[in-house]
Amino acid sequence: MSALRGEAAAAASTLTVAEVDAALAGIAATSARVSKRPCDTTARPLRSRHQGEQDFLVRLLVGELRQGALEGVMIDAVAAAAALPAAPVRRAAMLLEILRWSRTQR
């Protein structure tokens, strides 16, 4: 993974969802035959990012991020965005999954 990162990590978290979305949209729009440097395009959102952000993005892009890990990060992000404690939000998500499962068992 360090080869994909290339540059030193930033000291603080700076990445936004909008930046990642724009970078991935740019990658998707880049044609392989037009682009002579696809690795540069892919690595751009990783440059000068916090170590945790770099690791998360690399694992996400190369398929090494477990779905459960991503779900847990998103549940914590929803809790933080709503200014709620994470534990009750995690419990609500778990109960929602149980309810969805129970509906399929009829």
For the chain (106 residues), the mean pLDDT of every run of 10, in chain order, is 54 77 76 57 65 80 74 88 92 90 83
What does R_g of the chain's alpha carbons equal in angstroms? 18
Shared domain check, 14 and 42: yes
Shared domain check, 24 and 9: yes
Domain that holds residue 72: 67-104
- Please give the DSSP secondary-structure letter assigned to residue 15: -
Shared domain check, 55 and 74: no
Please state the pTM of the whole predicted model: 0.46
Say how far residue 37 (Cα) sits from the centre of its chain: 23
Q: Residue 45 has what pLDDT?
A: 63
Q: Residue 61 has what pLDDT?
A: 77
**Could you give the number of structural domains in the chain?**
2
